[in-house]
Amino acid sequence: MLRITDDIAIQDWELTESFMRASGPGGQNVNKVSTAVELRFEAARSPSLPGAVKARLKRLAGRRWTKDGALILQVDETRSQARNREIARERLTELIARALVAPKRRIATKPTRASQRRRVDAKKARSGVKALRGRVTDTE
């Protein structure tokens, strides 16, 4: 079980880990040992996450979200399979924790008359500068 908060915990059946050979430096270790981890979290089917959190998690996950509603994290940073597993679980925990935070609702406000006037004055000043960039004519 993976504990996110006091209220939310992910069950083991929701997580699937698979291991493959990692790319990059490491010599013979890379060619022989499957140290890279692919952690698959069945987010859409998860009973422990509310619907709003799932929607935010989907947006945060981006390309890592599959069509069938799973979140896939791949980690091959270290040469240790155990450490890569820990990193993958930490990333999943952090991603879900970020999805738990509901965005603050923006309250629309009307601009003040003074700010509107400043905006228009700035536009007029800029217009004047651009108007002076015209072709210079020689009038004598």
pLDDT in tens, 100-126: 888 899 999 999 999 999 999 999 999
Flag whether 132 is in a domain: no
Regarding predicted confidence, which is higher, 138 or 89? 89
Express each pLDDT in 46-58 by its tens digit: 888 888 888 999 9
> In 4-80, where does DSSP find H-type helix?
28-32, 51-61
Flag whether 61 is in a domain: yes
pLDDT at 140: 66
Confidence category of residue 8, pLDDT binned at 50, 70, 90: confident
Residue 26 has pLDDT above 80, yes or no: no
Spatial separation of the C-alpha atoms in residues 110 and 140, rounded to whole Å:
51
Arithmetic mean of pLDDT, 14-30: 80
Flag whether 13 is in a domain: yes
Domain that holds residue 11: 2-100
Flag whether 125 is in a domain: no
| φ, ψ at 15 (rounded to 5°) | -110, 135
Residue 129 has pLDDT above 90, yes or no: yes
Flag whether 72 is in a domain: yes
Arithmetic mean of pLDDT, 68-93: 89
In the chain, the number of structural domains is: 1
pLDDT at 72: 93
Flag whether 63 is in a domain: yes
Q: What is the CATH number of the domain that holds 6?
A: 3.30.160.20
Flag whether 129 is in a domain: no
Percent of residues, the chain, with pLDDT higher than 70: 97
Contact 10, 43 (CB under 8 A): no
Which residue reads 């000043």 in tokens?
125
Flag whether 71 is in a domain: yes
Residue 12 has pLDDT above 90, yes or no: no
